[in-house]
């Protein structure tokens, strides 16, 4: 505990789920955690010993600047930034409105870049690290996951580029890739996908309706059988505290298996496996 008592860690998206669990776990290990939340009610829920909530919407420049000022004014060094905030919005490429595409990238990519840029001066001074919470969707893109996976693929690329830029300066960059985790984000993602599916044209519904319903059923099944947020947070904490962290950590056996298959198999073979797995979730006998 005493080793980390005088160090800060910032965790974005800490209102619930993986972010809240990570904030609590890092505080338990002796860090002072600045936990980014969007509402005062969320702040009251997450506040605890070692966890200080800060109002932070990563898409609002003034709040990102306020966070950077809070860190700069603190005499404790910044040990790590955990970029965890995110949303899940799924839909077929043809049917998902462009406004949703832009919003997914704004939250899941550009917001992380904004926070990272704002805190890099402090991390460079402390020779700290950046932990980017990606997803198995950042390595394999399932049907209807175009926007979400696209942003996560991009986050993985930015992480690689940043790692190569700042490694000579003493800053480490780590990517964490969760599979199924039992969080509110997954539940909200399914609800959002259903709402967006209801807006499809009749022609789009005929083409993609069963696919969307099957994908949602598969997501619900994977989430229900996934790790708890507390178990997943242990992996994030390991990435934040291990002296020589790996560049990537998977979270859950499903994530490790899918990444292994993606490395071993051709695209077409992986397509057949994914399709076969999805087929049993279709609401009727069609496999369109």
For the annotated catalytic residues, the residue numbers are 148
* Distance of alpha carbon 257 from alpha carbon 234, whole angstroms: 20
Contact 173, 163 (CB under 8 A): yes
- Burial label, 213 (beta-carbon count in 10 A; 0-12, 13-18, 19+): middle
β-strand pairing of 129-133 with 77-83: parallel
* Distance of alpha carbon 261 from alpha carbon 81, whole angstroms: 31
* Distance of alpha carbon 230 from alpha carbon 228, whole angstroms: 5
User: Which residues are CB-neighbours of 218 under 8 A, at least 6 positions away?
Assistant: 277, 278, 281
Contact 153, 110 (CB under 8 A): no
Burial pattern 113-142, b for ≥16 Cβ within 10 A else e, equals ebbbebbbebbeebebbbbbbbbbbbbbbb
């Amino acid at each position: 505990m005493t080793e980390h008592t005088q160090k800060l860690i910032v965790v974005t998206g800490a209102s619930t789920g993986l972010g809240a669990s990570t904030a609590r776990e890092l505080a338990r290990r002796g860090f002072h955690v600045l936990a980014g939340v969007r509402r005062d009610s969320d702040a009251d829920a997450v506040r605890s010993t070692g966890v200080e909530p800060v109002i932070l919407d990563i898409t609002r420049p003034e709040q990102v600047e306020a966070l950077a000022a809070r860190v700069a004014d603190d005499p404790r060094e910044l040990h790590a930034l955990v970029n965890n905030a995110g949303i899940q919005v799924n839909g077929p490429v043809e049917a998902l409105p462009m406004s949703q595409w832009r919003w997914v990238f704004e939250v899941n990519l550009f917001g992380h870049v904004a926070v990272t840029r704002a805190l890099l001066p402090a991390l460079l001074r402390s020779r700290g690290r950046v932990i980017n919470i990606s997803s198995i969707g950042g390595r394999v893109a399932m049907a209807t996951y175009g926007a979400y996976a696209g942003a996560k693929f991009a986050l993985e690329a930015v992480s690689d580029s940043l790692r190569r830029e700042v490694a000579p300066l003493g800053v480490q960059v780590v990517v964490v890739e969760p599979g199924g985790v039992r969080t509110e984000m997954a539940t909200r993602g399914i609800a959002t996908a259903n709402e967006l599916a209801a807006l499809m044209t009749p022609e789009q519904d005929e083409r993609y309706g069963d696919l969307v319903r099957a994908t949602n059923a598969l997501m619900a099944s994977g989430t229900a059988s996934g790790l708890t947020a507390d178990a997943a947070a242990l992996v994030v904490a390991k990435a934040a505290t291990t002296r020589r962290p790996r560049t990537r950590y998977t979270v859950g056996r499903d994530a490790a298996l899918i990444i292994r298959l993606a490395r071993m198999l051709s695209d077409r073979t992986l397509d057949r496996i994914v399709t076969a797995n999805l087929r049993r979730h279709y609401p009727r006998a069609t496999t369109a």
